Each structure stands twice: as C-alpha cells, then as structure tokens.
Structure 1
Amino acid sequence: MLIELIILIIIILVVIVFVYLYNSLIQLRNRVKNAWSQIDVQLNRRADLIPNLVETVKGYAKHEKTVFEKVTEARSGLMNAKTVQETAEANNMLTDTLKSLFAVAENYPELKANENFLKLQSQLEETENKIAYSRQFYNDTVLMYNNKCQMFPSNLLANSFNFKEAEFFEIEETKREVPKVEF
C-alpha cells in the first residue's frame, strides 16, 4: 500500500511538472508572437507616416525623384516582408533611405520650418523610439523562450511537441548607429 501511494505521488508530481513546463512553453511562445505583433504595429505606423513625409518634402524638392522612389520602394519592401529576417532587412533598407530623405530636406531651409514637416518628423522620431523599445522587448522575450526550449528538462518537452526556436530581430552591423533626424 505504501509503495503504491509513493508511486501515485511520483506520478502526480511528474504530471504537474509536465503540465507546468508545457504551459510555460505555450505562454512564452505566445509572448514572442505578441512581441512580434508590437514590432509589426510600429513598423506599419512608420510605413504609414512615410507617404506624408515624402509628399511634404516633394513639394520643396521636386528634382530629387530617385530619393523618393527609393523611399517608396523600401517602404513597399517592409510592408511585403513575411519573416523576421526579411523584416529586419527591409527595416535596414528603409532606415538608409530615410537618412537620404532627411539629407535632401536639410538643403531646404523653408522645409525645415514647415509645420507639417516638423510634426511628421516628431511622429517619426517617436515611432523610431517605439520600434527600438519593441525590438528590445521582442528580443528579450525570444531569449526567454529560446532558453526554455534549450534548457533541461523543458527541452525534452519542446522537442517532443515541436516547439521551434524563434528568430531574433537583428540589425546589420553597419546600421547600429542611431540615424540622425535633427535639423
């Protein structure tokens, strides 16, 4: 009787540990998805601001057609990206083209004083800060999830139930400097 009771307690403990580990993996996987969604929201906000910014600058710099085309192309690339890696690459391209756009804007003193341009610039800066925060939160969440997928004993469950490691949202080494958008 005592041995049966001990075996039953051990089985109950194993089931409790199993359920806890499985649920924690599900919770972390869902946090990764939520964190990615937050990045996506901010990237879409940024992409929505860009046409207004381009139109404002276009009025002053009609001869800078290639810059506008590159910004539009980069925005389109970001909107069409499907994976974390594609999104990171498209984000890097958009950041580069925005630098070019702001460089063009620097040549037009009356544009730098334009109320619409200043408001758009402020909104873009705020969005860039939110993207940076969201990217950091996403990568922190991916780290916790990946650790759980790799560490014993949860890695046994992760492998058994096909929990795949998540990708980090990374930027290229050359893009690690903060883009300047000040005038």
Structure 2
Amino acid sequence: MSFGNIVLLVIVGIAAYLIAIYNKFVSLRAGIDAAWSDIDVQLKRRYDLIPALVDTVKGYKNYEADTLEKVIKARQVGLTASSIEEKSAAANMLSGALSKLFALAEAYPDLKANENFLHLQGELSRLEETIQNARRYYNAIVRDYNAKLESFPDLFVAQKFNFEPRDYFELEESEAEAVKKMPKIDL
C-alpha cells in the first residue's frame, strides 16, 4: 500500500466513525422524543380521569373543598404546561394533591365504598405506576444521551451539529413518597 492509500483509508475510517457518532446522537434523540411522547400520553390519560374523580367526590357533602380545588388546579396546570420542567412540576403537584385526596377518603366510609371511586382510584394507581416506569425509561435514555454529549470525541460532533443536553423528568422526593403511599387497588 502506498502512503496515499493509507492516508485515504485513515480519512475514510475517521469519517465513518464520525458518521456513526452522529447517527447515535440522532438515534438517542429520537428515543428520547418517543419516550417523552409515551409519558405525555400517560399524563393526558391521568388528567382525563380527574374530572370523573372530582365529580364522584363532590357528591359527599362534608368533603374538604380545598383538597378538591388543589386537584383541579394541579390538573389545569398540567394541561397547560408546555416544557418538560413545567410538566414535571405539574405532575408532582397532581401526585401530591391526589395522595391527599385518597388519604382524606379514608375518613369517608361511604366514599371508600363507592364503586366508581374505587374504580377511578384503581385506574389512577395503575397510571401512576405506568408513568413511573415511563419516567425511568425516559430518564435512562436522557442519561445516556447527556453522557454521550460530554464524552470524547463525541462532544466535538455534538457541538458541531448543535446537539443540546436534555432535561430529566424528575419526581420531587416528597412527591415520590406520596406516590409510593397511593393505594394499589386491583379490580
């Protein structure tokens, strides 16, 4: 092999390596977008259940209106949130409000026995678990993507093509405890 062929082979090898790095970034970014879409769908499903839950609880006269207002407000904030940070904060707020709602339901035996309430509570509990699993998956892909952004020599490709770090979909520690305490009901 001549020197020219060796140089050409090295250049082709470097180009192929850089293309592979770029394609991995594109693949990870698409995975993040798909994982976020899954979370968004699950959050929407949870927000769609809230009006039925509120209507069921409103039927009980002495029920704390303040708790219902917090649930309604948290739902509205979630529906209008646009960024991941806003949606994360809204999801945390709703989880906290729902856990308080379910805790207060313990004081109302008729409400606890209401079939519609139990069904909605079970659906919300299953959705919380699904959201938690989707959040873990999303955060794992974001972690891999963000780590790749800072890895050598990948960071040069990331900078050249403006790949930006992504935010995690985080659950506040206090809200994580509240979600763990939500009742699990199998219907």
- Report the TM-score when normalising by structure 2: 0.92
Structure 1 distance, partners of 2:74, 2:148, is: 36
Runs of 4+ in 1 over 4 A off after TM superposition: none
Paired positions, count: 183
Structure 1 distance, partners of 2:85, 2:44, is: 16
Structure 1 distance, partners of 2:69, 2:176, is: 24
137-146 or 79-88, larger mean C-alpha shift = 79-88
State the partner residue of 1:25.
Answer: 25
> Residues 28 and 145 of structure 1 are in contact (CA less than 8 Å); yes or no, is this contact kept in structure 2?
yes
> Residues 57 and 117 of structure 2 are in contact (CA less than 8 Å); yes or no, is this contact kept in structure 1?
yes
Q: Give, in angstroms, the shift of residue 66 of structure 1.
A: 2.0
Q: Give, in angstroms, the shift of residue 173 of structure 1.
A: 2.6
Deviation string 1:114-154 (CA, Å, 9 cap, x unpaired) is: 21111111111110000100000010000110111110111
Structure 2 distance, partners of 1:111, 1:126, is: 20
State the partner residue of 1:121.
Answer: 121
Deviation string 1:149-178 (CA, Å, 9 cap, x unpaired) is: 110111110011110011111122322312
Structure 2 distance, partners of 1:61, 1:8, is: 81
State the partner residue of 1:180.
Answer: 182
> Residues 95 and 179 of structure 1 are in contact (CA less than 8 Å); yes or no, is this contact kept in structure 2?
no
Q: Give, in angstroms, the shift of residue 179 of structure 1.
A: 3.1
Structure 1 vs Structure 2 CA RMSD: 1.6
* % identity of equivalent residues: 44
- Report the TM-score when normalising by structure 1: 0.93
Q: Give, in angstroms, the shift of residue 61 of structure 1.
A: 3.8
State the partner residue of 1:106.
Answer: 106
SS at match of 1:163: coil
Any stretches of 5+ residues in structure 2 without a counterpart? none
Structure 2 distance, partners of 1:11, 1:182, is: 59
